Structure 1
Amino acid sequence: MRIQIVMKLLGYLILIFSALLLIPFGYSIIFEVPYLSFLITAILAGCIGGCLYYYGISSKAFSLRDGFLVVGATWVITSLLGALPFLLSGIIDTGVNALFESVSGITATGASIISNVDDLPKTFVLWRSLLHWMGGMGIIVLVLAFLKNLGADSAHLFNAEASVPRPGVVLPRIQSMAGKLWSIYVFFSVICAILLMLAGLSAFDAVNLAMSLVSTGGFAPNQNGAFLYTDNYLVRYIFIIFMVLAGGNFTVYYSVLKKGIKAVWNDFEYKMYLLILSLSISVIFISVYFQTNSTLFRAVNDSVFTLISMQTGSGFAVVDYDKWPPLAQTMLLLSTFFGGCSGSTTGGMKIIRIILLFKSGILYLRKAIHPDMVQTIRVNGKPMPEKWLAMTHQFFFLYLWVFALSILGMTATGISVGESIQCVAGLLGNVGLAFGEFGPTDSFESLSGVAKCIGIVDMLLGRLELFTFFVMFHPTFWEGYFTKTRTQRYKVVWKRRH
């Protein structure tokens, strides 16, 4: 049965997660009261991972379906395990709340149900940041580890840059590239932490914020979050630099190591990413400067920080944008749909999909005028096959449906239409910030249990990019995992008859 092939790799990933649970446990022993909830969860995760690894089998016949199942199951299982320390310790009293916090952490959303982070033991502050960092790292390493098996569509959708390995490239090269991206991710985290410490932050705050920034998470080690640094512009600029870097395509940074800084300028998606950021910031600046009493210096800095934070899904705020004019708020809401580049740690639709949707729209208009015209859509000078455009259109269609159904579900729990739209945009886009009751000065604690469950699903869907989740509901997806496939059954019948 194919399930054993999945079990082997899934068990290995859970074993890694169990080892990471020992980090906050070790911290609690040294600096605080030992929290056995981490040790218990680590042992449980180790047992689950060990059993799956022991009873699984290694196979070179790792298929597309296997890749989807491993990735989807890993996110779900690690989310459940990540919630246990909160629940077993009594820090969070209900399973839904603990799962919401865990999913928000590991999907790098940053939407919290904890009303006062200052009352939270530092061990759990560290755990929330580690969840962010593991989630951000996972979305890169997991996808690239399966790049050969996920097919050309996924490869090109995630990486528009020509230097990205193709499905035909041998596995060791893909693993080597994944290792280099890991190194870049760690390098950004270390440099960010060092710069924050040099800017005057404590080592604990700097490390936690670095993990949150590089993963575009949003959890902060204090209740005020980035508001604490409203007037510390040096810290602000460090935030901005690493939010922009984290929103970029990490494979482009890998290319910089080989080709130099020109690799950034040669990547069309990265240029469009910077252009969209610049145009959106300009709209917000004009609105804030001319429609409020803000000074020129403050309007520029607040506009730059807030827009970058929202579009990259970082979820930090240094100003109460709920008091901004409607135009600025609308631009912020739209930016949550854009997201960052493919191959980044951000959520949202991703810039490459925005590019393909725009270009395909222009192409269809031209063909309506000139039906016999033959023209292809190109990105970075390479033609984009129709099947990749079809995947982009399907993603957009699914995204709108999930968005609409989530709003419907939220309004059914008693939330107003406006706040439901803003709440779903923040959760499905893995931003973690919304407006009004779920704005920069509030938390998601007031959501009902049902609304939190909808939010949990939205955060996972946003991080799994929809397809990985929905493909598992297709009737034929599970064929061969627990029983023989239809083809195998036909072969058995044919042998018996002959």
Structure 2
Amino acid sequence: MPRRPRSQVRGILRLPLLLLIWGIFAIAMWIPAIHAVLVDDHQTSQSFFYSGIVGLTFVTFIALSVANRVPRYGMPGQLMTLLATFVFLPLYLAIPLQDALQNTSYLNAYFDMVSSLTTTGADVYDQPGRVPQSVHLWRALVAWMGGMFMWIAASAVLAPLSLGGFEVTTRAEPGRSDAILRENQRPDPRRKLILVTKALAPVYIGLTLALAVLLVLCGETGLVAVSHAMSIMATSGVSPVGGIGAAQAGVAGEMVMLLFLLFALSRLTFSSDTVAVGHGRLDKDPEFRTGMLIIIGVPTLLFLRHWIASLEVNTSDDLMMGLASFWGALFTVTSFLTTTGFESAYWFSAQEWSGLETPGMILLGLAVMGGGVATTAGGVKLLRVYALYLNGLREMERLVLPSSVSGEGRGNRRLQSNGAFVAWIFFMLFALSLALICVALSAFGVPFEQAMILAVAGLSTTGPLIEAAGQFPIELGLMEAPVKLILCFAMVLGRLETLAIIALLSPNLWRN
């Protein structure tokens, strides 16, 4: 009798991965349902409660129909599951959202759920007061679960296939367990996925709870603190108050959030299992060092531009304004580099101090570079940027000394010999995808500047760029249906990356 529950758990874990994910999100719908009851919003509560029951019912019926089937698990199948999750799961997640709002179309609800699940955070509802509090919680929760899903998937699925940035590294494969490697050199993908989930999920949940508690101690309200904590850890930028500028935590809350944003710069901030060779120290990690160089360098240049450009500001000798502008630039640069997209409450002071009326190009460039490999951040990723930087140094050295022979060098032992070549291929694919999406958006009447911002926001999973990068915010709700579908495609492509989509089309991957 004591072994029966364990056998039932094993039977559940043998179900198709997409079915398990569907069931988890169906259960998660009861969280906003309970919250809606507590705030006396029974109509919203019914939407999420009954949608969760319907979802679990379908999951149960499908599970019973495939219970006797012997599953065959492989990495290509799990990669296909990732794609199916981002494309088809939002079709179900949008049902309670549309029913709760009642004054929105199903396409807008689907777009919002794709944006949340891919941790993009592009807000199709530009007025936070229009959306009930429980719906805000649902959007932040979906983005948070999508971030944890990518944390786990990057370690258990993308890394063994040398995708997601790991194609640049030197045989680093996160989530490896010595017990599994002793048992089998090529472990069962499903078993590997379970072990990675057990290792990473408690860390992700614990960091989110710690950040939420710290924000509450800084004076933030409960719902906003929880939503912002989930958004910071998922780098989604979803906010129930339209951004942290309207939050109550103030500078103390921004300082706390800045510390947790650093987890999106490198995987070594929360795990050391990517270190195959070389140093395992954080200060020796090329991703973290590159990220910190950008985070410190860009605000410093914006701060010094005040005197370089000889700006005439009435408060030029005000030390407090100078410090406020530097902090606003520091937080905002970190936020957009990690593809979160939160603007500091002092970002306007930073623009006024530096004299940059439209700093959109800086924000676009930061979002394109992105955060660390195997984190929730999007973009090209810092490790690929670092590989291209090393290759540039080597090419300049060869211009001076054509017969020189380059060794491993310092700090690049995590990179394989052709890492720069692979990084350049990905960068070209990213640029090609950006151009194609811009052309597609322009074909439906979107101006070029807006098309560029929308394309970068989708491919880098940095939705707040839509409001912050241009001279005026772009209203997604007024866009045509084809434009929204193209943006959905861009967000899924940016989340999974182009190399993963190409790998799914490779016959050799499925054959092996």
SS in 1 for 2:223: helix
Are residue 273 (structure 1) and residue 273 (structure 2) matched? no
Please report the TM-score for the alignment, with normalisation by the length of structure 2.
Answer: 0.80
Match of residue 222 from structure 2: 203
User: In structure 1, which of residues 49, 57, 60 is the aligned counterpart of residue 59 of structure 2?
Assistant: 49
CA-atom RMSD, angstroms? 3.5
Deviation, structure 1 residue 262:
7.4
Distance 1:52 1:393 in 2: 44
**What is the correspondence of 1:391-410 to structure 2 with a 5 Å cutoff?**
391-410=422-441
- Summarize the Cα distance change of 1:435–1:107 in structure 2 as closer, same or farther, 3 Å threshold: closer
398 and 51 in structure 1: CA distance in 2 versus 1, 3 angstrom threshold: farther
Contact 1:160 1:352 in 2 (8 A): no
Q: Which amino acid aligns with 1:46?
A: L
The Cα shift of 1:133 comes to 0.5
Deviation at 1:143, TM superposition (A): 2.5
Give the equivalent residue in structure 1 for 2:318: none
| Cα contact 2:216–2:225 (8 A) shared by 1 | yes
Is the Cα–Cα contact under 8 Å of residues 92 and 98 in structure 1 kept in the other structure?
no
Per-residue CA deviation, residues 340-379 of structure 1 (Å, 9 max, x unaligned), is 1112111111100111122234445556777776546668
Q: Which runs of 5+ in 1 are unaligned?
A: 480-484, 488-498
Give the corresponding residue for 2:118: 107
Equivalence for 2:198: 179
Does the alignment pair 1:10 with 2:15? no
**2:42 corresponds to:** 33
Cα displacement string for residues 168-225 of structure 1 (whole angstroms, at most 9, x for unaligned residues):
47566774444232222112211111111111111121111111111111111124x2
- The secondary structure found in structure 2 opposite 1:405 is helix
Asked whether the equivalents of residues 339 and 461 of structure 2 are also in contact (C-alpha less than 8 Å), the reply is: yes
CA distance in 1, matches of 2:501, 2:60: 25
1:236 to 244, 248, 254: 254
Matched residue pairs, number?
469
The partner residue of 1:129 within 119, 140, 154 is: 140
Give the match for residue 212 of structure 1.
Answer: 231
SS in 1 for 2:230: helix
**What's the CA shift string for 1:379-431, capped at 9, x where partnerless?**
85536445654442332121111101111122222222122212221222111
**Contact 2:29–2:52 at 8 Å: present in 1 too?**
yes
CA distance in 2, matches of 1:376, 1:454: 45
| Separation in 1, partners of 2:306, 2:474 | 22
Cα distance in 2, alignment partners of residues 378 and 44 from structure 1? 58
Which residue does the alignment assign to 1:296?
322
The one-letter code sitting in structure 2 at the alignment partner of 1:399 is: F
Per the alignment, in what secondary structure is the counterpart of residue 219 of structure 1?
Answer: coil
Rounded to whole Å, the distance in 1 between the matches of 2:171 and 2:213 is 30
Distance in 2, matches of 1:341 and 1:376, equals 25
Q: For residue 268 of structure 1, report the CA deviation from its aligned partner.
A: 2.0
Which of residues 308, 313, 321 is equivalent to 2:339?
313
Q: Is contact 1:159–1:249 with CA below 8 Å preserved after alignment? A: no
Other structure's SS at 2:42 match = coil
Contact 1:322–1:435 (Cα < 8 Å) also in 2: no
Distance in 1 separating the partners of 2:193 and 2:448: 45
Offset, 1:75? 1.9
Counterpart CA distance in 2 for 1:67 and 1:373 is 44
SS in structure 2 at match of 1:445: helix
Q: Counterparts of 1:332 and 1:49 in 2: how far apart (Å)?
A: 42
Structure 1 residue 249 and structure 2 residue 266: aligned?
yes
What pairs with 1:330-349 in structure 2 (closer than 5 Å)?
Answer: 330-349=361-380
Deviation at 1:164, TM superposition (A): 3.5
The 10-residue stretch of structure 1 (137-146 or 262-271) with the greater mean CA deviation from structure 2: 262-271
CA contact (8 A) 2:141 2:230 kept: yes
Give the superposition deviation at 1:79.
2.0
The aligned residue for residue 29 of structure 2 is 21
Q: In the TM superposition, what are the counterparts of 1:51-70 in structure 2 within 5 Å?
A: 51-54=61-64, 55=66, 57-59=69-71, 62-70=73-81
Change (3 A) 1:381 1:333: closer
Q: 1:220 to 1:234 in 2, by over 3 A?
A: same
Partners of 2:152 and 2:370 lie apart in 1 by 19
> Is 1:453 matched with 2:485?
yes
Question: Would the aligned equivalents of 1:6 and 1:70 in 2 still touch at CA under 8 Å?
Answer: no
Q: 1:229 to 1:362 in 2, by over 3 A?
A: same
Would you say the 8 A contact 1:378–1:384 is kept in 2?
A: no
Q: For each residue in 1:262-282, what CA deviation from the matched residue of structure 2 results, as whole angstroms up to 9, or x when unmatched?
A: 731132221111112222222
Give distance in 1, aligned partners of 2:476 and 2:409.
42
Q: Secondary structure at the match of 2:456?
A: helix
1:226 Cα deviation after fit: 1.5
Partners of 1:473 and 1:127 in 2: how far apart? 34
The residue type equivalent to 2:210 in the other structure is I
Q: Measure how far apart 1:69 and its partner are.
A: 0.6
Gaps of 5+ in 2: 1-12, 316-320
1:393–1:89 distance in 2 versus 1, CA, 3 Å: same
CA contact under 8 A between 2:438 and 2:451: conserved in structure 1? yes
Task: Name the SS of the counterpart of 1:151 in structure 2.
Answer: coil
Aligned to 2:3: none
Residue 267 of structure 2 aligns with an amino acid whose one-letter code is F
Structure 1 window deviating more from structure 2 (155-164 vs 450-459): it is: 155-164
SS of match in other structure, 1:347: coil
